[in-house]
A and B are shown apart, each in its own frame.
Chain A
Amino acid sequence: MAQILVYLEHNNGQIKKTSLELLTAAKKSGLDFCAAALGKGAKELASTASAYGAKELLTSTADVFNTYNSEAYTQWFGQVIKAKKPQILLATANLTGKDLFPRVAGRVNGGVATDCTSLELSASSVKVRRPVYSAKASVEVEFQNCDVKIILMRPNALEIKNETSAASPATVSEVALEPIDLKTIVKDVVKGASSKVDLTEASIIVSGGRGMKGPENFKLLEDLASVLGASVGASRAVVDAGWVGHDMQVGQTGKTVSPNLYIACGISGAIQHLAGMSSSKVIVAINKDKDAPIFQKATYGIVGDALEILPLLTEEFKKLLH
């Protein structure tokens, strides 16, 4: 019986950065833990899991697990949790994790804390905090009356300590999915237009608002983003105006983000936008209006036209980075 179960995500055997954050936290806790990974290539995660001290890697490489299927995944995690009885389950608070684990909790008498931004784990206590009201406030989550505490961590919230050599290799155990009559069928996965990192996982975001004047000028944001390896976001005003898709919206009815660097271009800083980005480590504001609320949240600001300043910044970063 392991005390923690860590759910590892991967692309064809290549572990995701967010899963390394979870493994680092599990190792740091000093508690016994095992890992779980699903789909094609899952077994290749055994060496990484071992390096962090996982005792066992639970997997299934059945075809049904190659893409996320809520019914199959819920059943599999239900089986594993009932068999292994972990007290804590750690996973990433991405769109898959948030779709899956609340349902798993319903099945195994669990409690779930989604979108956690801090975690302190030890033999004697579990302490997690998460934002509420789109990060206008935060709370400590206390688990009650549950057999397993499910903690979904926001990407970038935990540090990664690289571990490469294992004291002893983790046992790889195949857990077969019990027979299930699937009523949910994943027909297709349509890849996004860009291969960029999702806003919620990005470490740098360049974001544009009304001050960009029109959708054609978002090219300037793309240019800067490609030099920095950043993702591009937008304010609600320009999403509602139809300039860009809503998957780019940052703010209370869009995505809550916490990158290391957030560059807000031509965004005045409505309260609902500030709610979604003000936990970014460093905020740069570029706006013509020196009284714009965005400057109140900024670390650095330039008063001026974003359309004029963006190409200057892109050139300057190019010189620095290439």
Chain B
Amino acid sequence: MNILVCLKQVPDTETKIKINSTLAAIESSGIKWVMNPYDEFAVEEALKLRDKLSDGSKVLVYTLGPKARAVEVLRTALAMGADDAVLIDAPENLDPNSVAKALSVALKKESDVGVVFTGKQAIDDDCSQVSQLLAEFLGFRHATVVIKCELGSDKNHFLVEREVEGGSKEIIQIQKPAVIGAQKGLNTPRYASLPGIMKAKKKEIKEIPLSSLGVSDTDKKINFKNFQLPPERPQAKIFEGDVAANSVQLVKLLREEAKVI
């Protein structure tokens, strides 16, 4: 079967966010772009499944974004061991519905898709929507925040574990094909090997223009505006010296000044 992975390139977690002058986006200069951390788990799970099946199944990675930078996230996945990569060349900041629609139209052209892995959310807009929307548009089942994923012995369903509130876990059986949203803990993503990196550099990447996927302006359901940085916090009261006296003082302040206890 074909094992698909949808990837997103996001600013590195160390990025200091600045708002641009239009207030409609962040300042994009100086950003170091990386694979969305949750997508690393998605790639790893796809590779593990392929290797376990070892029946000619292939891992195919997709991304959607501006070609000039987004191609790098595909190279990273190829270097980790993915077989083929497809880039949907698209402008910055499409909304989740438009992204899911574009991906669904492209993915429908792939044959024998058993599973699509994604991250449970991207750490830029933090929307947590594309996986579920993609599943809906493809008519697949879905599970998000997945920490364990096993293909059943009949190869027709997945047994997945997902996190729910309060540290509890749900164990769900879902019939193939499915969209799985990976959570940290699903696996330990591998590092790309040097030969893998060399091979990935030479690999041809298929490109699809967004315009060929029938996505229009009316697919945009949400728009972000009026970006703001969090309000500055007032100067902290810091106590040094006698820790016993300071502990008593802190408890008093939390009760009487901050009124949170």
Contacts and interface: CB of A to CB of B under 8 A. Distances in A.
A103 B251 contact: no
B123 A252 contact: yes
Contacts of A195: 166
Given A95-B164, A102-B128, A301-B237, A282 B254 contact: yes
A103 to B, nearest CB: 4
A48 interface: no
A278 B127 CA distance: 19
- By size class, the interface of chain A is 35 or more
Contacts of A106: 97, 100, 132-133, 136-137
B239 interface: yes
Interface in B219-261: 219-230, 233-234, 236-240, 243-244, 246-248, 250-251, 253-255, 258, 260-261
Interface string B134-162: 01110001111100000000000001001
A189 B169 contact: yes
Interface string A90-130: 00001110111011011100111111000000000000001
A281 B169 contact: no
A177 interface: no
A282 B261 CA distance: 11
Contacts of A138: 227-228, 230
B213 interface: no
A100 B238 CA distance: 44
A219 interface: no
Say what secondary structure dominates the interface of chain A.
mixed
B251 A67 contact: no
A133 B238 contact: no
Contacts of B131: 102
Interface in A124-176: 130-146
A301 B241 CA distance: 12
B261 to A, nearest CB: 7
B236 to A, nearest CB: 4
A211 interface: no
Contact of A133 (B11, B38, B145): B11
Contacts of A193: 167
A31 interface: no
A86 B144 CA distance: 26
Interface of A: 67-68, 70-71, 74, 94-96, 98-100, 102-103, 105-107, 110-115, 130-146, 183-198, 201, 204, 228, 245-247, 249, 252-254, 256, 260-261, 271-272, 275, 278-279, 281-285, 290, 295-305, 308-309, 312-313, 316-317, 320-321
Interface of B: 11, 13-17, 19, 26, 37-38, 96-97, 100, 123-133, 135-137, 141-145, 159, 162-175, 183-185, 217-230, 233-234, 236-240, 243-244, 246-248, 250-251, 253-255, 258, 260-261
21 contacts: A95-B165, A102-B131, A102-B133, A105-B129, A111-B221, A112-B221, A133-B26, A137-B26, A137-B227, A143-B222, A144-B222, A183-B141, A192-B169, A282-B254, A295-B238, A299-B237, A301-B237, A312-B244, A313-B250, A317-B261, A320-B251
Given A99-B142, A275-B13, A296-B233, 9 more contacts: A103-B136, A142-B222, A144-B221, A183-B175, A184-B174, A185-B173, A192-B169, A253-B38, A282-B260
